């Protein structure tokens, strides 16, 4: 009884399918789950600060000529493997590693529909810095458990999910621009970032997101071992089919992550960073219109993709 | 407000700390969460059957000389990066890739305490086959969404978690052997696998595990987007601080994975496979005792680690 996949195929779906706000919203909401899961997975390990110090492992310098941190080396290795499978060709994937350090794709390129203009935006350096300096210290204990490999695997996954979430904002920008391009012309020409932000932001949606995210962090972050474990062990007659214990509704909940922390990660970082990317993308949008596209928009005839 | 790390350090903890049943149980329970999370993450993508066909990608044959499947190639690439960080030196980590295809470690070896004898057990081929043929078809839709990279990343993570869980059984075997070695001598000499299994199995613990696992799959597998999302959007006055909707207790729950499926994965595969590993390990345990250790055990003086 497998649920049906609700993932759209970036290569075979049409641009208008991908850029529908409904599609975008479903991707962003599903990514919340992934981000919460990955944060919980990282939080089981200690902070392990040396992982983030450049040059902390002399062997990486000697044998790999790698002067950055352990985690950045891990990113490079992982992203290199994924480069061979053309991950970074996809319009929703951005590497943390400098492209010249990544190998070429082995598989032939996939032909994606024309979605975004050729923007060159990649805010992963800022994502990495904030993750290292704020997120990891917030969600982990200030300790060292030696689990550098396991922690780095989680770091790579969490960073990739945050990066995909934040860069996905460009689909929102493109979608909103296409549906009412005329509204964007003046603020783009005036480089009015505030106005542009207002055009793509819905405070009610943002509030709903934070409510939903808190609930996800609370529900997925429950530590069910203590509550169910002990109860089930006592009741030795319990069969696998009857889950008598429902710690979700009891008061003395134990949590693997603090829901407030997760909400703050979005409120203080993911949401503002996404807006920055969205506006960065919009601010140059007119440069990538042909004269006839621009004329049509100015005449109130809307946006038309060029053949 | 980060929770304290409850991960023990395999390199700096003592053998008796690591082999305490309490430590082992906490690792196994935490791994349940990881396995459930990873299954949920994989289930969002379609089955993507060609990923598992040997030779389905001619480029992998031509450019990499790789005749096995896409997923196995992905495993090799990922496990290769981890080999450089000495992951496979750890006594609780086993690669799916043949060791001669993996690069050497860059970092100097970690000195682990003597925990297990030099056993050479690795059931990952069986884990991979069952995962490919039973688990993936059970938890995914029988479809192709083209998300081979994303799906393979989940496959690698899920397989690693299943492998660690199953091979961890050897710690259970060693722990139980050390605490009452005399009881194991006769069944080992008689190669009585049933008796050995009975010595390390507690049906009540197993039942409790299945109850707990069902609860984890049910709780972590909830799709909170529909329930909380719509409710929160309606109540635009709701602030981030008040999670009014508690879909966990409502009836019309939507799920990202079927809790029955997760229970079956453990009941039909993880638990029996763990027992096989546990017994495989025990059956040769006496060969790795010195004559004086064996004499002590036979005299009822218990197990003593050699200096």
Please check the confidence at residue B6 and state whether its pLDDT lies above 90: no
DSSP readout, B136-190? HHHHS-SS--S-HHHHHHHHHHHHHHHHHHHHTHHHHHHHHHHHSTHHHHHHHHT
Closest CA to B197 of B262, B120, B271: B271
CA distance A87 to A93: 7
Give the residue-averaged pLDDT of B220-247. Answer: 50
Range with the lowest mean pLDDT among A2-11, A167-176, B22-31, B194-203?
A2-11
DSSP readout, B191-243? T-HHHHHHHH--HHHHHHHHHHHHHHHHHHTB-HIIIIIHHHHH-TT--TT--
Q: What is the dihedral of CA A97, A100, A105, A111, to 10 degrees?
A: 90
Give the residue-averaged pLDDT of B28-51. Answer: 97
CB B75 within 8 A of CB B98: no
Q: A245 to chain B nearest CA, in Å?
A: 8
CB A107 within 8 A of CB B73: no
φ/ψ (deg, to 5) at B255:
-125, 145
Task: Give the pLDDT score at A112.
Answer: 87
Please answer yes or no on whether B225 and A205 come within 8 Å at the CB atom: no
Task: Give the pLDDT score at A227.
Answer: 55
Selected residues 275-304 of chain A with any CB under 8 Å from a CB in chain B = none
Contacts with A108 from chain B: Cβ below 8 Å: 59
Task: Give the pLDDT score at B242.
Answer: 33
Mutate which of B44, B135, B163, B215 to test chain A, going by most A C-beta atoms within 10 A?
A: B215
Please answer yes or no on whether B5 and A143 come within 8 Å at the CB atom: yes
Question: What percent of chain B clears pLDDT 70, i.e. is strictly above it?
Answer: 88
What residues in chain A have per-residue pLDDT under 50? 1, 3-4, 228-251
Please answer yes or no on whether A245 and B211 come within 8 Å at the CB atom: yes
Contacts with A146 from chain B: Cβ below 8 Å: 9-12
Which distant-in-sequence residues (6+ apart) come within 8 Å of B147 by Cβ? A7, A9, B45, B46, B48
Which distant-in-sequence residues (6+ apart) come within 8 Å of A59 by Cβ? B106, B107, B108
Task: Give the pLDDT score at B252.
Answer: 58
- Banded pLDDT at B7 (limits 50, 70, 90): low
Does the CA dihedral B202-B203-B206-B211 come out positive or negative? negative
CB B115 within 8 A of CB B19: yes
A222, β-bridge pairs: A255
Task: Give the pLDDT score at A96.
Answer: 98
CA distance A215 to B232: 11
Give the residue-averaged pLDDT of B13-22. Answer: 88
- Cα dist. B298→A69, A290, B278, B294 in Å? 53, 89, 22, 6
Q: A215 to chain B nearest CA, in Å?
A: 6
CA distance A158 to A175: 26
As a CATH number, domain A27-229+255-298 is 1.10.590.10
Which distant-in-sequence residues (6+ apart) come within 8 Å of A38 by Cβ? A154, A157, A158, A161
pLDDT tens digits along B55-84? 999 999 999 999 999 999 999 999 999 999
Closest CA to B262 of A30, A224, A149, A43: A224
| B63-68 LR contacts (CB < 8 Å, sep 24+) | B63/A106, B64/A106
Give 3-state DSSP helix, strand, coil % of chain A, rounded to 5: 60, 0, 35
Selected residues 171-230 of chain A with any CB under 8 Å from a CB in chain B = 204-205, 207-208, 210-212, 214-216, 218-220, 222, 224-225, 228-229
Task: Give the pLDDT score at A8.
Answer: 65
pLDDT tens digits along B136-177? 999 999 999 989 999 999 999 999 999 999 999 999 999 999
Task: Examine the predicted complex and report whether its ipTM is higher than 0.85.
Answer: yes
- B34 contacts chain A (CB < 8 A): yes
Does the CA dihedral A137-A139-A143-A148 come out positive or negative? negative
Task: Give the pLDDT score at B254.
Answer: 82
Task: Give the pLDDT score at B124.
Answer: 98
HSE-up of residue B52 (Cα within 13 Å, Cβ side): 18
| Domain B15-228+254-298 in CATH 1.10.590.10 | yes
Task: Give the pLDDT score at B236.
Answer: 34
Please check the confidence at residue B109 and state whether its pLDDT lies above 60: yes
Angle at B204 between CA B198 and CA B208, to 5 degrees: 130
CB B218 within 8 A of CB A248: no
Task: Give the pLDDT score at B113.
Answer: 86
Mutate which of B206, B225, B259 to test chain A, going by most A C-beta atoms within 10 A?
A: B225
Please check the confidence at residue B220 and state whether its pLDDT lies above 90: yes
């Amino acid at each position: 009884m497998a649920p049906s996949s609700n993932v759209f195929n970036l290569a075979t779906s049409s641009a208008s399918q991908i850029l529908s706000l409904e599609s975008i919203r479903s991707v962003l909401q599903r990514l919340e789950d992934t981000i919460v899961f990955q944060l919980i997975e990282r939080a089981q390990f200690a902070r392990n600060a040396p992982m983030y110090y450049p040059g902390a492992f002399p062997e990486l310098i000697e044998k790999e000529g790698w002067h950055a941190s352990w985690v950045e080396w891990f990113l490079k290795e992982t992203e290199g493997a994924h480069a061979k499978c053309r991950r970074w060709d996809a319009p929703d994937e951005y590497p943390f590693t400098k492209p010249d350090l990544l190998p070429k794709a082995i598989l032939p390129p996939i032909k994606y529909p024309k979605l975004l203009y050729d923007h060159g935006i990649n805010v992963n350096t800022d994502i990495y810095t904030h993750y290292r300096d704020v997120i990891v210290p917030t969600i982990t204990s200030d300790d060292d458990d030696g689990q550098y490999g396991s922690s780095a695997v989680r770091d790579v996954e969490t960073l990739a999910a945050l990066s995909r979430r934040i860069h996905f904002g460009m689909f929102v920008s493109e979608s909103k621009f296409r549906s009412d391009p005329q509204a964007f012309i003046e603020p783009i020409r005036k480089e009015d970032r505030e106005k542009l932000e207002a055009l793509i932001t819905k405070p009610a949606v943002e509030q709903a997101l934070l409510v939903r995210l808190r609930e996800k962090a609370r529900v997925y972050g429950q530590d069910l071992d203590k509550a169910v474990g002990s109860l089930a062990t006592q009741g030795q007659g319990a069969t696998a089919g009857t889950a008598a214990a429902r710690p979700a509704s009891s008061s003395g909940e134990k949590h693997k992550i603090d829901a407030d922390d997760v909400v703050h990660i979005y409120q203080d970082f993911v949401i503002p960073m996404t807006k920055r990317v969205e506006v960065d993308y919009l601010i140059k949008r007119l440069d990538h219109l042909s004269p006839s596209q621009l004329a049509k928009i100015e005449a109130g005839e809307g946006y038309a993709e060029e053949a």
